[in-house]
Amino acid sequence: MKAKVKMKGYIEINQESCKGCQICFYFCPKSSISDSGSINSSGYFSACFSDNSECNACGICAIVCPEAAIEVYRE
Amino acid sequence: MTIKTVYKRPKLLKERLFHYCPGCGHSVIHKLLCEVIDEMNLKERIVCIPPPGCSVFAYNYLDIDMAESAHGRGAAVATGIKRVSPETIVFTYQGDGDLSAIGTAETIHAANREEKITAIFVNNAVYGMTGGQMAPTTMIGQKTTTSPYGREVNKEGYPLKMSEILSVVEGTVYIERTAVNSPKNIKKTKKAISKAFQVQIDNLGFSMVEILSPCPTNWKMSPIESWHWVDKEMVKEFPLGVIKDRIKVKKC
Amino acid sequence: MNKYLISGNSVIAEAAIRAGCQCYFGYPITPQNELTEYMALHLSRKEGCTFIQAESEISAINMVYGASIAGARAMTSSSSPGISLKQEGISYLAACELPAVIVNMMRGGPGLGSISASQSDYFQATRGGGHGDYRTIVLSPASGQELADLTQRAFDLADNYRTPVIILGDGMLGQMMEPVEFHKEAPENLSTKSWALKGAKDRPSKIIKTFTSNPNELEEINWRLFRKYRLIEREEVDYETYMVEDAELIVIAYGIAARIAKGAIKKARAHNLKVGMLRPITLWPFPFKKIQEISKRVQYFFVFEMNMGQMIEDVQLALEGNGEISFYGRPGGVIPTPSEVFRILSRQYYQKGLNR
Ligand SMILES: Cc1ncc(C[n+]2csc(CCOP(=O)(O)OP(=O)(O)O)c2C)c(N)n1
Ligand code: SF4
């Protein structure tokens, strides 16, 4: 679940809370979030964070995430 | 190397999956409320009045005192609580069916009595919970289950602008219309909610934040389409911004 | 103790204030306006108390609901058409187990009806009145003094059982002036209510709600209410008997009708007719057992109401086919005289051959 990268920031997506609305895909300025391709126990295709992204922990994904499924960290 | 937390799930949001549809504005607003209540340190003195509507289960998510009201009666219930317990911060959480149809009288008169309460008014242009019927706030031409050919003004009237209506009521102190469809608008909404609560803390009078909120399910759109639709369509009828601010006048 | 000579509506208001009522929410309607006006004069400026003339009866009852959530003793009053509007709120109060006192000074109906005294809302009051499976305690005063006593009792019952209590008066009782004593003074501090919501301080957050998507959970709520109603039925039945010991014919009447019937019975006794009366003071719970007990000795019952026959159905239920019931009623706000009732009563008495 935790995807740590060399970049300045990273996020954690709670796969079970995610409803696959893909709002974060759209708003992430670095296009760092995409479909995980796997279905969670509620039946949604959850989102996942790409390891080798340029995430700078701007926090936009967490702000827009309706499910409060994303937590953002800066190294 | 130290790791700094930039965003954490709000403390006051219970560990529970929202029942709201993917992309629904209610979830975002719940999140914001939890953040604001926590940041303003209000948990110990705040009571929320949720309505019938999609948000009827708000009590499952917000870890604060809550008392359910009948459809549209939030402002009257809040009045009762506030008058008995003036030190309590009381806010209603109401949909557009709730506040602008069945509850117009309660809302306008509570505002006019200058009740020291706050309304969080979630405008999603439809009746969500009951399956997407037309609301007073439905756009002209918008198709809903009870306006299947699109809302027609000569039969169904115009989108009702509650914020503007309430702005001419003397007892209202602060009214802002925001939206939860972009990072910028969400931040503005959070600020507006804090401001509205502050008006109540300062005992100035009635405050309201009208929040344009996407309802992808009943608008029959994908979540992201619905977030765009707020900007493309709703904002034309319901312009964003501060609609009334008498805070300075009331303070002096 | 001081005696006061004030209208029945004012008696209720004064008794409520003395019972520690902290909040009154009302909307004007005849014939109960003096109650609202008395509260405006005497409660609105009282320390820690609230008076609001609401924008509608719907708002008024919901303000009561709010005040009750915050833990205050709260009441509202109205007359028949306004009580119809309060039913939604009463249902919520019952469901959330919140105390409240609701006064109905009945007038003639249906529709806008008349402003004259009537007993047209017996069904509405005793069957719950609003939606859902619930009951409200219904108290039926028949004199100025009882308006005072029952109002004070209503607040205690509401708190004890956490349930809405209805005082079912009528336009005539509301207007009448009789000397009244107030037996109880306002409690110094009413105990704080365990359910009151004022913010989650030093305790986990709480909710007051009825809505659930789980029918089993709602069933459990209904069972809890039902057990409470059973307890009330056991504990709180109240009635008055008048000259029943040797009576051959028992009048059953409540409220102002019982007052009129008493006059008729006095006339009957003057003519050596053995007539007595059972007057239910609680209309719900109804004195079923007492009626059954009387029916072991007495065969003939005469139900008198100022409507077309509503309580008579409870009397029928009580008698379970035993005994014979006749009925006299005047609806629409017409107030019968004792002589009129005596005429009907004595005719019944002779027709049944009770004089032999
Ligand atoms: C007296 C009454 N009438 C009708 C309803 C059914 N009902 C439940 S919620 C609702 C409206 C919901 O729409 P809105 O207030 O816009 O909230 P949303 O669900 O869109 O958030 C209605 C009509 C009710 N609960 N009570
Ligand atoms: S129906 Fe609309 S308002 Fe209700 S939860 Fe779904 S998206 Fe949200």
Same domain, yes or no, for C220 and C333? no
Which domain-ending residue is among C187, C205, C235?
C235
The percentage of chain A sitting over the pLDDT mark of 70, rounded to a whole number, equals: 91
Q: From chain A, pick out residues whose CB is under 8 angstroms from the CB of B17.
A: 16-17, 42, 67
pLDDT of residue A5: 44
Which of A23, A42, A60 lies at the smallest CB-CB distance from B23? A23
CATH number, domain containing residue C285: 3.40.50.920
Quick one: which of C64, C68, C159 has its CA closest to C102?
C64
Q: Which atom of ligand 2 is nearest to the CA of B219?
A: 2
pLDDT at A4 over 70: no
pLDDT of residue A6: 52
What spacing in Å lies between the alpha carbon of B232 and ligand 1's midpoint?
A: 26
Please list the rounded mean pLDDT of every run of 10 residues in chain B (252 residues): 92 96 98 98 98 96 98 98 98 98 98 98 98 98 97 97 98 98 98 98 98 98 98 98 96 87
Q: From chain A, pick out residues whose CB is under 8 angstroms from the CB of B224.
A: 21-23, 26
Instruction: Determine, yes or no, domain membership for A31.
Output: yes
pLDDT of residue A2: 52
Tell me which chain C residue has its CA closest to the CA of residue B79.
C63
Pocket test residue of B124, B137, B219, B222 for ligand 2, highest count of atoms within 8 A of CB: B124
Number of domains observed in the structure of chain C = 2
Nearest ligand to the C-alpha atom of residue B223: 2
Averaged pLDDT score across all residues of chain A: 90
The secondary structure element, H or E, covering residue B49 is strand B46-49
Number of domains observed in the structure of chain A = 1
The secondary structure element, H or E, covering residue B119 is strand B118-123
Cβ pair A64:B28 closer than 8 A: yes
* Sign of the CA dihedral running B184, B187, B193, B196: negative
Instruction: Determine, yes or no, domain membership for A56.
Output: yes
pLDDT of residue C304: 98
Ligand 1: does its nearest atom lie under 6 Å from the Cβ of B27?
Answer: no
**Burial (CB count within 10 angstroms: exposed 0-12, middle 13-18, buried 19+), residue B199:** buried
pLDDT of residue A7: 52
Instruction: Determine, yes or no, domain membership for C93.
Output: yes
Same domain, yes or no, for C227 and C249? no
Pocket test residue of B24, B28, B144 for ligand 2, highest count of atoms within 8 A of CB: B24
Domain B26-251, second-level architecture: 3-Layer(aba) Sandwich (3.40)
Q: Beta strands B206-212 and B172-179: pairing type? A: parallel
CATH number, domain containing residue C100: 3.40.50.970
Residue C240 CB coordination number (10 Å): 16
**Beta pairing partners, C100:** C164
- Do C and B make contact via 3 or more CB pairs under 8 A? The reply is yes
**Backbone dihedral region for residue C289 (phi beyond 0: left; psi -120 to 50: alpha; all else: beta):** alpha
Same domain, yes or no, for C94 and C199? yes
User: Two tokens at C85?
Assistant: 């509007």
Q: Region A51-69: what's the mean pLDDT?
A: 93
Please write the tens of the pLDDT for every residue from B2-51.
899 999 999 999 999 999 999 999 999 999 999 999 999 999 999 999 99
For helices C144-161 and C8-18, angle between their N-to-C axes, nearest 10 degrees: 40
Nearest ligand to the C-alpha atom of residue B96: 1
Same domain, yes or no, for C41 and C94? yes
Tell me which chain B residue has its CA closest to the CA of residue C72.
B84
Same domain, yes or no, for C140 and C175? yes
Which domain-ending residue is among C235, C262, C287?
C235
Same domain, yes or no, for C58 and C108? yes
Q: Where are the domains of chain B?
A: 26-251
Q: Beta strands B241-245 and B172-179: pairing type? A: antiparallel
Ligand 2: does its nearest atom lie under 6 Å from the Cβ of B217?
Answer: yes
Cβ pair B43:C200 closer than 8 A: yes
Cβ pair B6:A9 closer than 8 A: yes
Ligand 2: does its nearest atom lie under 6 Å from the Cβ of B55?
Answer: no
pTM for the full predicted model: 0.96
Q: Within 13 Å, how many C-alpha atoms sit on residue A75's CB side?
A: 13
Instruction: Determine, yes or no, domain membership for C296.
Output: yes
Chain A contact partners (≥3 CB pairs within 8 A):
B
Quick one: which of C192, C197, C191 has its CA closest to C209?
C197
User: Two tokens at A32?
Assistant: 């760092």
Nearest ligand to the C-alpha atom of residue B20: 2
Confidence of residue A52 (pLDDT cuts 50, 70, 90): confident
Instruction: Determine, yes or no, domain membership for C356.
Output: no
Which domain-ending residue is among C213, C235, C257?
C235
Domain, as residue range, for A66: 9-74
Q: CA of A35 to nearest chain B CA: how many angstroms apart?
A: 15
Same domain, yes or no, for C32 and C180? yes
Cβ pair B43:C63 closer than 8 A: no
**Beta pairing partners, B128:** none
Same domain, yes or no, for C65 and C193? yes
Same domain, yes or no, for C227 and C247? no
Chain B contact partners (≥3 CB pairs within 8 A):
A, C
- Do A and B make contact via 3 or more CB pairs under 8 A? The reply is yes
Cβ pair B80:C68 closer than 8 A: yes
Averaged pLDDT score across all residues of chain B: 97
Is A22 an interface residue toward B (CB < 8 Å)? yes
Q: From chain A, pick out residues whose CB is under 8 angstroms from the CB of B183.
A: 27, 60, 63-64
Q: Which atom of ligand 2 is nearest to the CA of B132?
A: 1
Domain, as residue range, for C68: 4-235
Same domain, yes or no, for C75 and C209? yes
Long-range contacts of C263-268 (CB under 8 A, 24+ apart): C263/C337, C263/C338, C263/C341, C263/C342, C264/C338, C264/C339, C264/C341, C264/C342, C264/C345, C265/C345, C266/C338, C267/C338, C267/C339, C267/C342, C268/C342, C268/C345, C268/C346, C268/C349
Q: From chain A, pick out residues whose CB is under 8 angstroms from the CB of B2.
A: 75
What spacing in Å lies between the alpha carbon of C97 and ligand 1's midpoint?
A: 23
Same domain, yes or no, for C56 and C122? yes
Q: Which residues of chain C have pLDDT under 70?
A: none
Sequential DSSP letters for A5-48: -SSSEEEEE-TTT-----HHHHH-TT--EEEEEEE-TTS-EEEE
Quick one: which of C268, C277, C285 has its CA closest to C240?
C277
Ligand 2: does its nearest atom lie under 6 Å from the Cβ of B24?
Answer: yes
Same domain, yes or no, for C185 and C311? no
Is A5 an interface residue toward B (CB < 8 Å)? no
Pocket test residue of B24, B29, B106, B129 for ligand 1, highest count of atoms within 8 A of CB: B129
Return the residue whose CA atom lies nearest to atom 2 of ligand 2.
Answer: B215
Which of B59, B65, B82 lies at the smallest CB-CB distance from C199? B65
User: Two tokens at A4?
Assistant: 């740590």
Q: From chain B, pick out residues whose CB is under 8 angstroms from the CB of C25.
A: 80
